[in-house]
Amino acid sequence: MPSLIELYNAPMSEGWKVSIAFEELGIPYVVHALKSCHDNTLLPDFLHTSPSGCVPAIIDHDVEGACTVFDAAAILV
């Protein structure tokens, strides 16, 4: 089964919360690792997902047209 969620994440506590939740819930996802929110090499795909450039952010491809959500609290809801 292909992953339906792309997770843009950096080694920070907010991102870890989302990764742990996905693992515990058995939600398939693919991680795009970033160095930090202030990484000068941010991917254009990531900036389209999270215009502020902060992690974590997800793209859910299970929704028609794909749904983007950023901020750990919003993702966890």
What is the full per-residue pLDDT of the chain (77 aa) written as tens digits? 455 898 988 888 888 999 999 999 999 999 988 876 665 455 676 677 777 777 888 888 887 778 888 889 999 99
- Chain centroid offset of residue 70 CA: 7
Domain that residue 61 falls in: 5-76
Residue 27 to residues 7, 22, 36, 37, 69: CA-CA distances in angstroms? 11, 5, 24, 24, 16
Q: Is the pTM of this model over 0.75?
A: yes
CATH of the domain at 35: 3.40.30.10
Which residues touch 53 (CB under 8 Å, ≥6 apart)? 37, 38, 42, 46, 47
pLDDT at 1: 44
Place of tokens 């160095």: 35
Overall domain count for the chain: 1
